[in-house]
Amino acid sequence: MHLALRSLRPYALPTGLLAGLTLALAACQPTTPTPATAAGEAAATPAEPAAAPADAMIEGQAIYRERMMLPPGSRLSVQLIDNLLADTPKAVLAEVAVDDARSSPIPFRLSYDAADLRPNGMYGLHASVRGPDGALLFVTDTRHAVDPATDAPVELLMKRVSSRGAPTTPGEGPQAGLTLQCGDLRVDARLRPGDGKAMLALSGRQLALASADDGNRYEDDLGNALDTRDGAYALSLAGQPAVACTPVESPSPWGAAARGGIAFRAAGNEPGWHVEVGSGDAPRLKAELDYGARTVEVEHAAREGLDYAGTAADGSVVRLEVERNACQDDMSGESFEASARLSVNGETYRGCGSFLAP
């Protein structure tokens, strides 16, 4: 049987069917986003919140030179101090405690909030060690200057607290020249048990107290009192609850000025400054300006009532105007007995002050 074969020809798909297959195949292919699409998707995705900056850190060690172990349960305390607010409740910016301190050296790590620092501010560190009964054993007798912007470790030298100021006989009371740390206040006390009088200087204020009946308490009619019973000290101001005090070696800036024969001292803020004036009709006037960056000194200032004027060695024209009226520090809130306006070559500094000597 003879079979006839037909030639095979390509079969042409209908136009509509071909278009449909093309779209279906395209849908099955993986797609690569264009740069514009990727950017749009990234913008639509919420960004992760930035992590808050960690607290800044000061590292170092506190030391003492005595060859001795501390009583079990002793505690080291280190404070970062704003020098401009020294001896006020707002002075302490940060504090760390090291429990069960045993012997020198005692390492510490002090965290603080960098946002609390001011441009061109001046800061210091204060360290103390207390025994398990709370008694002060060691303390830094000067404030250690520190630059928080540096990472260099610090070393704080502490000195052993002496027993000066403790009664030598019952009822005699402490001796003159005592400096006490009463809570956040540093108080310079001149106590005279013999005639029953006491003079306290704190943050520029002067308090004159008289001995009470038992001879172990000094007080005035305004509710201010210092109790010295059994060698333990407690201070009450304006009738407020008493605060325990401990003897320390370093006086406050106001107390140091008074002991150095300064008759008037004033200080102000932003930028930090202070001025000290000696006694007499032509006293020495010395001012530290701009957080201590600049010093002007008039060897013999002319006195006009409560005001002083003169020319410094560098040619600066200096004038200090003082008014005896109530003045409140605009940062610490402390009260003073006078307002002060210092002018150096026409640049004016305003603040508060106190008369430290007649």
Over residues 243-252, the pLDDT tens digits come to 888 877 666 7
Q: List phi, psi (to 5°) of 207.
A: -120, 120
38 belongs to a structural domain: no
Q: What is the pLDDT of residue 204?
A: 66
Q: Higher pLDDT residue, 89 or 325?
A: 325
Answer yes or no: is pLDDT of 114 > 60: yes
272 belongs to a structural domain: yes
Counted domains in the chain: 3
Does one domain contain both 257 and 316?
A: yes
Q: What single letter denotes the amino acid at residue 248?
A: V
Answer yes or no: is pLDDT of 87 > 80: no
47 belongs to a structural domain: no
Domain boundary among 219, 248, 277: 248
37 belongs to a structural domain: no
Does one domain contain both 120 and 143?
A: yes
Whole-prediction pTM value?
Answer: 0.53
**What is the residue whose two structure tokens read 């010093």?**
295
The first and second tokens of residue 219, run together, are 């007080």
Q: Is 54 exposed, middle or buried (0-12, 13-18, 19+ CB in 10 A)?
A: exposed
Q: Looking at 182-186, 217-221, 222-226, which range is the least confident one?
A: 182-186
pLDDT band for position 150 (50/70/90)? confident
Q: 57 in helix, strand or coil?
A: strand
8 belongs to a structural domain: no
Average pLDDT, integer, range 61-72: 92
Does one domain contain both 232 and 270?
A: no
Average pLDDT, integer, range 83-88: 65
Q: What is the pLDDT of residue 77?
A: 92
Helix, strand, coil percentages for the chain (3-state, nearest 5): 10, 40, 50
Does one domain contain both 296 and 320?
A: yes
The first and second tokens of residue 251, run together, are 């006086």
Average pLDDT, integer, range 98-116: 92
Full domain range(s) for residue 61: 55-160
Does one domain contain both 239 and 261?
A: no
Domain boundary among 100, 129, 160: 160
What CATH number is given to the structural domain containing 232?
2.40.128
6 belongs to a structural domain: no
pLDDT band for position 36 (50/70/90)? very low
Answer yes or no: is pLDDT of 105 > 80: yes
Does one domain contain both 294 and 307?
A: yes
Answer yes or no: is pLDDT of 155 > 90: yes
Does one domain contain both 101 and 128?
A: yes
132 belongs to a structural domain: yes
Residue 246 and residue 228 in contact, taking contact as beta carbons nearer than 8 Å? no
Average pLDDT, integer, range 327-354: 89
